[in-house]
Amino acid sequence: MDTSAVILAAGRGTRFGGERNKVWTLLTGRPLLWHALHAFVQCRAVGEIVVVARPGEGADVAVLARESSVPAVVVVGGERRQDSALAGIEAACGEYVLVHDGARPLVSQALTHRVRDATRRHGAVVPIVPIADTVRYAGEGFLKHDSVDREGLVQIQTPQGFRRDLLLNAYAEAERQGLELPDDAAAVLALGHPVATVPGDPANLKITRPEDLILAERILAGVA
């Protein structure tokens, strides 16, 4: 076993609304977290799964994890995303780690294998999707005059793959510098290490708002 999946399920999901962690929202009768967990079990790309849970939700996560045919452990996350990611990475045993958002239930086997294979080659990799729409700044209800050149702009998805020792070093240095990080790649980039890219998957959407569930259901049904 050289690759571990770290699934982050400790977020608050404030944009989704409601008080409960959005990873428990049902998609075709199963929690979002179940779909993310099951995706890694099915693809056989990893030998271990670590799920990072919110305080007080570890027992519920453990129930889902026990259904896995892949060895799975549950750890408690922290206040920030980077705290939760670090807790999961420290608990992982693989030489490589694939860090994934629990609110991305539609990650495909092909994408996971693509990220894992590139991680073995480069040590750090993220899946990307080019931005196709026009991008502008807006404020106070009006568009700004300045436009944004979208050449080279991309959306970054998960799973993001890293050599485990590299990512641990990156997070240690980020903590020393007091950096606030939007994702794991930011820690590695701040360390000065290059991060490779692989093609992402437009269907690998992150469930951020309630209407995203409708699209996810359509994708699963093959009608999107």
Along the 224 residues of the chain, how does pLDDT read in single tens digits? Answer: 699 999 999 976 555 655 678 999 999 999 999 999 999 988 888 999 999 999 999 999 998 888 778 888 999 999 999 999 999 999 999 999 999 999 999 999 999 999 999 999 999 999 999 998 888 899 999 999 888 888 889 999 999 999 999 999 999 999 999 999 999 999 999 999 999 999 999 999 999 999 999 999 999 888 65
CATH fold for domain 3-221: Spore Coat Polysaccharide Biosynthesis Protein SpsA; Chain A (3.90.550)
Contact present, 103 and 11 (Cβ < 8 Å): yes
Contact present, 134 and 177 (Cβ < 8 Å): no
Helices (H), ranges, 92-206: 109-122, 164-177, 184-190
Domain ranges in the chain are 3-221
Rounded to 5°, the CA angle 4-82-167 comes to: 50
pLDDT at 72: 87
pLDDT at 17: 58
- Distance between CA atoms of 127 and 164, rounded to whole angstroms? 18
pLDDT at 121: 97
Contact present, 128 and 135 (Cβ < 8 Å): no
pLDDT at 49: 95
- Distance between CA atoms of 69 and 44, rounded to whole angstroms? 10
Q: What are phi and psi of 136, to 5 degrees?
A: -140, 160
pTM here?
Answer: 0.93
Q: How far is CA 32 from the centre of its chain?
A: 13
How much is the CA Rg of the chain, to the nearest whole Å? 17
Contact present, 127 and 204 (Cβ < 8 Å): yes
